[in-house]
């Protein structure tokens, strides 16, 4: 039996995995217990699943994950209290069932904004009160920055933003702090946090919020990355930049896609992936990455993969979106049969 990942990094940070409830059992459950010291829900704690209708909370699936973490003495991340995606429509409807965003009358706008913020507070309060003793880190707000936005600050022009400006972010953190308590760890989470201009936009937003006294403890770096992108230097600079604000950093959704640069055709099967030799490039990448995380361990309190093994990855569904055709991806350190890959040996430091 190979050494456990969680033991290798025990003195540095927990090693986590995103899971669907079905993965708590069988072979997935075994791998989780053996190699991982933390879990997060891949989907079931998102707003659309937790409060599908106003006032109707569905905690059944989420509870299973919380219980598994407790029983196996694992850390637990909560993902996510607020997001522009996987959020139910009802948040943004007025009493007549119409979308609230197109209002021009200032009084009506203010009324809409207050209604939305009230719904947000209720959502957060209900969840946080239920899980406050079990959750170690909260993704309070997810993906607030969009470098393609038409505003100069790069703020994502979601419905949240259109109706409240940045007040939804403020309200979310303040409400989370109020009900989770002083010791709770609250994160603003995003992807491409390594690269410009996104990194600077996020830095400016966080600095501004901190200056206003908004209770943010750290930045969650999703780290949906590729073999050749972003660079290790950019990654280091980003962690150091947010640490310079006195903030913690967590790696929250790590996966290393086989696609991107250098270019490669879509793989139709795992056999094609094996034949390509690409897994060795990926292994080299994992080596550099975990060397960096080790170097920065005082500034990084958590490393979570966005999955357990290559049998199940959201990147398969995204193949088309990344414009390389519909193909299999293999971003983790365990293969689809749960055997270790070259990337495993490299991240464990056996190079």
The upper half-sphere exposure of residue 341, i.e. CA atoms within 13 Å in the direction of its Cβ, equals 30
CB nearer to ligand XIL: pick between 28 and 113: 28
Residue closer to ligand XIL by CB (options 100, 202) is: 202
Structure tokens at 162: 């259109």
Given the residues 20, 253, 272, 346, select the one marked as catalytic. 253
Question: Contact between 250 and ligand XIL (CB under 6 A)?
Answer: no
Give the nearer residue to ligand XIL in terms of CB position, either 112 or 304. 304
**Closest CB to ligand XIL among residues 206, 348:** 206
Measured from the CB of residue 257, what is the shortest distance to ligand XIL in angstroms?
Answer: 12
DSSP for 11-80 reads TT--EEEEE-GGGGSHHHHHHHHHH-SEEEESSTTSHHHH-SBTTB---HHHHHHHHHHHHTT-EEEEEE
CB 328 to ligand XIL: min, Å: 16
Residues binding ligand XIL: what is the number (CB under 6 A)?
A: 6
HSE on the CB side for 105, CA within 13 Å?
5
Other Cβ atoms less than 10 A from the Cβ of 10: the count is: 12
DSSP codes joined into one string, 165-190: TTHHHHHHHHHHHHHH-TT--EEEEE
User: Is residue 311 involved in binding ligand XIL (CB under 6 A)?
Assistant: no
Quick check: 49 binds ligand XIL (CB under 6 A)?
Answer: no
Strands (E), the chain: 15-19, 38-41, 75-82, 137-142, 186-190, 218-221, 224-226, 248-257, 300-305
Work out how close the CB of 306 gets to ligand XIL at its nearest, in angstroms, rounded to a whole number.
Answer: 6
CA distance 90 to 321: 28
Candidates 12, 43, 126, 276: give the one binding ligand XIL (CB under 6 A).
Answer: 43
Provide the minimum distance between the beta carbon of 314 and ligand XIL in the complex, in angstroms, as a whole number: 3
Q: Which of 260, 251, 258, 315 is CA-nearest to residue 284?
A: 258
Count CA within 13 A, CB hemisphere, residue 238. Answer: 30
Chain-centroid distance of CA 175 in Å reads: 20
142 binds ligand XIL (CB under 6 A): yes
Nearest to 116 by CA among 63, 71, 172: 172
Indicate the residue among 116 and 188 with the shorter CB distance to ligand XIL: 188
| Near ligand XIL by CB under 6 A: residue from 38, 166, 193, 222 | 222
Find, among 227, 256, 236, 215, the residue nearest to 299 by Cα. Answer: 236
Q: How far is the CB of 109 from ligand XIL (least distance, A)?
A: 29
Given 38, 42, 64, 138, the residue binding ligand XIL (CB under 6 A): 42
Q: How far is the CB of 323 from ligand XIL (least distance, A)?
A: 17
253 has catalytic annotation: yes
Which residue minimizes CB distance to ligand XIL? 314
8: how many CB neighbours lie within 10 A of its CB? 16
314 near ligand XIL, judged by CB under 6 A: yes
Of residues 5 and 18, the one with the C-beta less far from ligand XIL: 18
Least distance in angstroms from the C-beta of 199 to ligand XIL: 17
Instruction: Provide the strand spans (E) within 212-318.
Output: 218-221, 224-226, 248-257, 300-305
Query: Which of 20/291 has CB closer to ligand XIL?
Result: 20
Binding site for ligand XIL (CB under 6 A): 42-43, 142, 222, 253, 314
The catalytic site residues sit at 253
């Amino acid at each position: 039996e190979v050494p456990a990942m969680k033991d290798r990094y025990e003195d540095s940070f927990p090693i986590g995995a995103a899971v669907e409830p079905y993965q708590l059992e069988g072979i997935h459950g075994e791998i989780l217990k053996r190699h991982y010291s933390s879990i997060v829900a891949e989907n079931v704690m998102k707003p659309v699943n937790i409060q599908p209708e106003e006032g109707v909370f569905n905690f059944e699936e989420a509870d299973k994950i919380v219980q598994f973490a407790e029983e196996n003495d694992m850390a637990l991340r909560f993902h996510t209290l607020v997001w522009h995606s996987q959020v139910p429509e009802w948040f943004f409807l007025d009493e007549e069932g119409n979308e609230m965003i197109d209002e021009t009358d200032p009084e009506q706008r203010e009324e809409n904004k207050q209604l939305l913020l009230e719904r947000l507070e209720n959502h957060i309060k209900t969840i946080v009160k239920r899980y406050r003793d079990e959750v170690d880190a909260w993704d309070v707000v997810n993906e607030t920055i969009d470098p393609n936005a038409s505003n100069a600050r790069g703020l994502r022009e979601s419905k949240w933003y259109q109706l409240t400006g940045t007040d939804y972010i403020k309200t979310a953190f303040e409400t989370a702090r109020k009900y989770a308590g002083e010791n709770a760890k609250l994160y603003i989470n995003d992807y491409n946090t390594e690269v410009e201009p996104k990194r600077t936009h996020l830095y400016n937003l966080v600095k501004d919020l901190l200056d206003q006294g908004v209770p943010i403890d750290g930045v969650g770096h999703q780290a949906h990355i590729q073999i050749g992108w972003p660079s290790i230097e950019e990654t280091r600079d980003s962690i150091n930049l947010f640490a310079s604000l006195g903030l913690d950093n967590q790696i929250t959704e790590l996966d290393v896609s086989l696609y991107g640069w250098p270019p490669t055709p879509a793989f139709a099967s795992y056999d094609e992936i094996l034949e390509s030799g690409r897994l060795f490039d990926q292994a080299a990448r994992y080596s550099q990455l975990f060397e960096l995380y080790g170097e920065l361990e005082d500034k990084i309190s958590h490393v979570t993969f966005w999955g357990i093994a290559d049998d199940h990855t959201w990147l398969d569904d995204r193949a088309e979106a990344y414009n390389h055709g519909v193909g299999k991806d293999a971003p983790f350190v365990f293969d689809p049969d749960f055997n270790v890959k070259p990337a495993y040996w490299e991240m464990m430091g056996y190079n």
